[in-house]
Amino acid sequence: MDNPTAQNILSAYRPNGADSTDPVFKPALDQCANDPDLRDWLDGERAFDQRMIRSLAEIRPPANGKEEVLSTVSLNMRKPLHMFRWGLWALPLAAMLVIGLFLFSALRPAPVVWEPGEFNLASLVSGLQHLDFQSGSVVELKQFLEDRGAPTPDSLPELLATALGHGCTILEDGKGNQISLMCFKMENQFVHVYVFTEETRHYLDLPEDKWHKEKGWNLRRLEQGGYTLAIATSGRTSFLDPLFRS
């Protein structure tokens, strides 16, 4: 084996020693032991490998990346029509229509309902498992909620109105009163905004002048256009400060 061939093979030799028993590398390693030039080259190669590994290890993934994936993945897993896509393709057209209609009515997500006295915002947001509607457009989210009679302020603070939307859902309190939830993606993290009305704002026990921390969530109340908003985020809050400046 000539040195260029040995170098080619040893370029794939992992610096953590995981390949020490792989017979593919043995002839090249043996040659290294007998050839000082090749040995020097391998030492340089390993030093370079270590430097690259250290450098790439410095890359920090986004703090809430896993949480974001898990929340959106569970949403996708719950999309009923998606789950049955292939099954529907396989059926004759007539049966497909019937089953499609049945699925649409039967599997449409029902509003989340809780009993009075059970309300806890931190638990509510922690248990958030699905959204009724997903869109990056805040206007579309607002429209979805309005079309269903769910509370939405006439205007949102600029910071939210210009943010990237993520989704929304409608909750009910067991008495038929609705609370809207709008989710936004801001500064690489989720910001959840619950919209309470005159009838439901008594559930909320949150300060307006500071963040309340509970179960890993930062929670704060904001009065907006006759509605009470509850802001919830698990990450940083400093970028949300403009919301609370009158």
Partner 1 sequence: MNATQQHLHQAVHEWYDPLYRFAISLCQNVDHAQDLTQNAFHKLARKQATLRDVSKTKSWLFSVLYREFVDGYRRNVRYPSTSLDFVPEPSGEGGQEVQLSYDAKVMMRMLGELDEIFRAPLTLFYIEQLSYKEIAEVLNIPIGTVMSRLRRAKDRLRERMEELETPNPQSSHQTIPFPREARHG
- List interacting residues with partner 1 (CB under 8 A): 7-9, 11-12, 14-16, 18-19, 22, 24, 45, 48-49, 51-56, 58-63, 65-66, 68-70, 72-74, 76-77, 82, 188, 235-236
Nearer to partner 1 among residue 43 and residue 223 (C-beta) = 43
Instruction: Give the helix ranges, DSSP H, for the chain.
Output: 3-10, 26-34, 36-57, 65-77, 80-83, 85-90, 93-106, 121-126, 138-147, 158-161
Residue recorded with tokens 């939405």: 152
> To the nearest whole angstrom, how small is the minimum distance from the Cβ of residue 234 to partner 1?
10
Nearer to partner 1 among residue 60 and residue 245 (C-beta) = 60
Nearer to partner 1 among residue 7 and residue 120 (C-beta) = 7
Return all residues near 25 (Cβ < 8 A) that are at least 6 apart: 9, 10, 13, 19
> To the nearest whole angstrom, how small is the minimum distance from the Cβ of residue 212 to partner 1?
18
Nearer to partner 1 among residue 61 and residue 117 (C-beta) = 61
> To the nearest whole angstrom, how small is the minimum distance from the Cβ of residue 8 to partner 1?
5
Nearer to partner 1 among residue 34 and residue 238 (C-beta) = 238
Cα-Cα-Cα-Cα dihedral of 153, 157, 163, 165, to 10°? Answer: -10
> To the nearest whole angstrom, how small is the minimum distance from the Cβ of residue 146 to partner 1?
29
Cα-Cα-Cα-Cα dihedral of 85, 91, 92, 93, to 10°? Answer: -20
The sign of the CA dihedral 179, 116, 203, 231 is negative
> To the nearest whole angstrom, how small is the minimum distance from the Cβ of residue 60 to partner 1?
4
Nearer to partner 1 among residue 63 and residue 139 (C-beta) = 63
> To the nearest whole angstrom, how small is the minimum distance from the Cβ of residue 58 to partner 1?
4
Distance CA 200, CA 191 (A): 21
> To the nearest whole angstrom, how small is the minimum distance from the Cβ of residue 163 to partner 1?
15
Residue recorded with tokens 């210009």: 162
CA nearest neighbour of 183 among 133, 223, 147: 133
Write the single-letter amino acid at 228.
Answer: T
Nearer to partner 1 among residue 27 and residue 174 (C-beta) = 27
